[in-house]
Amino acid sequence: MCRTFGLIPAAGKSRRMGRPKLSLPLGGKTVLESVVSAVTQGGVEKVIVVIAPGDSELRALAEQAGAAVVELPADTAEMRDTIEHGLNWLEKHCQPSADDGWLLLPADHPCIDQQVVRQLLAAKAAHLERSIVVPTFNSHRGHPTWIAWRHVTGIRSLQHGLGLNVYLRQHAEETLEVAVSTPSVLWDLDTPEDYHELQINYRPCP
């Protein structure tokens, strides 16, 4: 059976929010703790959170939630750089096989619940021929995304400046879309207005 590792990029600057968004309270936890909890309780073997240099607050929150913490050596505005740094850590410390996978969930998607994670992992187990698994709601793709480890080499070879979505679109024939019953896979957190809406709509998993 393949293993799945959780990778949570959490190195953004929250400029549109105007304050650190990942430490905001939501449903009795902080945003970051909610994301880590969804992945760990969803059945992922090991979860890492990639943070900006010197972010002691997020380090403490991530460790309290049970995640390992990977600190970037320098600030970066590119999500792909953050992701690749996390992949390097997983490769060094977990020695994934080609058929193992990693579940990518940006830390600003706090309304994902463990049932969605379990649904994606079950879909992957039932469709071994597929190497990328994404949730959809009303035909719109959301987060998180399961990616087989064998794709890491291709992701690393992407032209500089191109994001992960470019690579995923190039492998549509290997992608399994899984329809889910909750729109939360589409919700992210960027602005104060987003936060207000999430506070209204968020329902913690029982």
Would residue 204 count as lying in a domain? no
Range of the domain at 57: 4-198
* CATH code, domain carrying 62: 3.90.550.10
Residues with Cβ within 8 Å of 153's Cβ and at least 6 positions away in sequence, in order, are none
Domain count, the chain: 1
Would residue 169 count as lying in a domain? yes
Would residue 74 count as lying in a domain? yes
Query: If you write DSSP's letter for every residue of 39-81 in order, what string do you get?
Result: HHHTT-SEEEEEE-TT-HHHHHHHHHTT-EEEE-SS--S-HHH
Which tokens belong to 119?
Answer: 């649904």
Would residue 80 count as lying in a domain? yes
Would residue 167 count as lying in a domain? yes
Would residue 181 count as lying in a domain? yes
Would residue 13 count as lying in a domain? yes
Letter for the amino acid at 112? I
| pLDDT per residue as tens, the chain (206 positions) | 689 999 999 998 878 887 889 999 988 899 999 999 999 999 998 999 999 999 999 999 999 999 999 999 998 878 999 999 999 999 999 999 999 999 999 999 989 989 999 999 999 999 999 999 999 999 999 999 999 999 999 999 999 888 999 999 999 999 999 999 999 999 999 899 998 998 888 766 54
Would residue 206 count as lying in a domain? no
pTM of the model: 0.94
